[in-house]
Amino acid sequence: MTTALREASVRDVSVFGDAIAYFNEAADLLELDAGMRRILTHPTRQIIFSIPFQRDSGEFEVYTGYRVQYNFARGPAKGGIRYHPGVTLDEVTALAFWMTWKCAVVDLPFGGGKGGVTCDPATLSANELERITRRYAAELVEVVGPDKDVPAPDVNTTPQVMAWFMDTYSMHVRQNTPGVVTGKPLDIGGSRGRVEATGRGVTICALDEMAVMGLRPETATIVIQGFGNVGRYAAKLFEERGCKIVGISDVTGAYYNEEGIYVSGAMEHTAKFRTLEGFKGGEKITNSELLSSQCDVLVPAALEKVFTPESAAKVQAKLVVEGANGPTTPEADRIFRERGINVIPDIMANAGGVTVSYFEWAQDRMGYFWKEAEVNEKLEDFLLSNLHAIRDIADSRHATLRTAAYTLAIDRVVKASKLRGIYA
Ligand code: NAD
């Protein structure tokens, strides 16, 4: 069993169930009626299909693919595609549910969706990945599109995967359609700033909240779990703003250095060796030591359910910034609350990616592309204006930032649903 498969087998409690617990807390605050709660806690559409493909060896295999289109009230479904051994219908549904609130919280004209394939990309060649991706896209041709559902990258899916998806869709509809996916390479309709956008958003939200908490970047220490698309760029941008990164990790291990980890060195290491295995820029520690290490800001940027009651009780950080989706179970969240640890919730903290995805979609439709500075400026504006709105709700309702974020998002989705009415 690979490490990734072992990891998947322990994440066996319903992720969607946890997600609904957060929804209910905000729905109570909004005094949402039972009918609307019922509608919003059911996915609009769940699609499951087989992906037969040929290994380079000639052997045939069959994987399972999913796409969940959770809600369309505010626009086309929007959300990434995950390739991971732990992908299940439950997980994809939870992720699509979160996308609904994430798009609403930053006021994007999108609903929520998510997709995935249960597979271990570490065991697949580039050709095998391409065949799987093209078959996955072909199965979804009728239900995705710039005005229907717009996928994007997530765990283990890259700009190249998006390029194959876009090409397959375009071949089927006989029309170049860059706006069918976001997170594409720049040469085929991607947006400047998209690759770093989620990490940049994590940093923008964190620095704004740190200022409110009186934590100065020049003296702040940061720990980041996960060194992929989100964690890596968050680390780099924190470092650029003068913060000291004292801990990083990936699936192969964690590294701590109280003098500060040289992030570019870690990035060069992963560019060369794919993972942090063998990284010499810090002392090797365990994942649980990383999560409980001394720091001001802790950024989970790997997978969900990282903070359980046990791990949350040991966290020493003052601020947790959820780069990953769903890293905190509701029980752990209660512990953070009791211990006075502030949390910027996932639907706000990692919304930078989908915000620049929205810019990419808009640019593709216009056929006119912005400079990176313009993208970054607009990103900061979208994130901070909504983070400030959340903070105002949290202050006035004596709620956590998480409940405030859900409250803002649910209110926006409910307004759209009521204006459109329920077609029956
Ligand atoms: P990625 O595949 O690029 O990177 C994931 C990282 O987490 C890798 O470094 C991997 O080694 C590490 N990891 C996996 N299991 C781990 C473990 N047990 N301990 C420590 N590290 C571990 O994925 P990503 O795109 O960076 O996504 C990370 C998280 O952020 C996911 O929850 C994803 O849903 C969320 N997210 C991603 C985006 C995006 O734009 N990519 C946007 C919003 C949210």
Asked if 133 and 103 count as a contact pair (C-beta separation under 8 A), the reply is: no
- Active-site position among 78, 102, 114, 236: 114
Output the six-digit token pair for 98.
Answer: 């979160």
Separation of 71 CA from ligand 1 center, angstroms?
24
For ligand 1, atom 33, which residue shows the shortest CA distance? 324
pLDDT (tens digit, 9 = 90+) per residue, 342-373?
A: 999 999 999 999 999 999 999 999 999 999 99
Please list every protein residue whose CB sits less than 6 Å from any atom of ligand 1. 7, 153-156, 198, 225-231, 249-251, 287, 301-303, 323-325, 350, 353
Separation of 366 CA from ligand 1 center, angstroms?
31
Look at the block and give the residue holding tokens 């929007």: 78
Q: What type of residue is 199?
A: G
User: Could you give the angle at the alpha carbon of 365 between the alpha carbons of 359 and 152, nearest 5°?
Assistant: 50
For ligand 1, atom 41, which residue shows the shortest CA distance? 154
pLDDT score, position 339: 98
State which ligand 1 atom lies nearest to the alpha carbon of 351: 43
Q: Specify the CATH superfamily of domain 197-344.
A: NAD(P)-binding Rossmann-like Domain (3.40.50.720)
pLDDT score, position 19: 86
Asked if 133 and 161 count as a contact pair (C-beta separation under 8 A), the reply is: yes
For ligand 1, atom 43, which residue shows the shortest CA distance? 350
Verify whether residue 114 is a known catalytic residue. yes
Separation of 31 CA from ligand 1 center, angstroms?
35
- Distance (Å, rounded) from C-alpha 196 to C-alpha 393? 29
pLDDT score, position 13: 61
DSSP per-residue string spanning 198-266: HHHHHHHHHHHHHHHHT--TTT-EEEEE--SHHHHHHHHHHHHTT-EEEEEEETTEEEE-TT---HHHH
pLDDT score, position 90: 95
Output the six-digit token pair for 65.
Answer: 């693919």
Does 43-179 match 197-344 in CATH topology? yes
Tell me the mean pLDDT in the region 260-273: 97
Confidence of residue 383 (pLDDT cuts 50, 70, 90): very high
- Distance (Å, rounded) from C-alpha 239 to C-alpha 109? 33
Q: Does domain 43-179 have CATH number 3.40.50.620?
A: no
pTM given for the model: 0.94
Tell me the mean pLDDT in the region 175-202: 97
* Phi and psi at residue 223, to the nearest 5°: -120, 135
Asked if 357 and 184 count as a contact pair (C-beta separation under 8 A), the reply is: no
Tell me the mean pLDDT in the region 394-406: 96
Tell me what percent of the residues of the chain surpass a pLDDT of 70.
97
Output the six-digit token pair for 12.
Answer: 């066996």
pLDDT score, position 320: 98
- Distance (Å, rounded) from C-alpha 93 to C-alpha 133? 20
Which of 93, 154, 158 to mutate for ligand 1's pocket (most ligand atoms within 8 Å of CB)? 154
Sequence ranges of the domains in the chain: 43-179, 197-344
pLDDT (tens digit, 9 = 90+) per residue, 92-116?
A: 999 999 999 999 999 999 999 999 9
Query: Does the pLDDT at position 11 exceed 80?
Result: no
For ligand 1, atom 23, which residue shows the shortest CA distance? 155
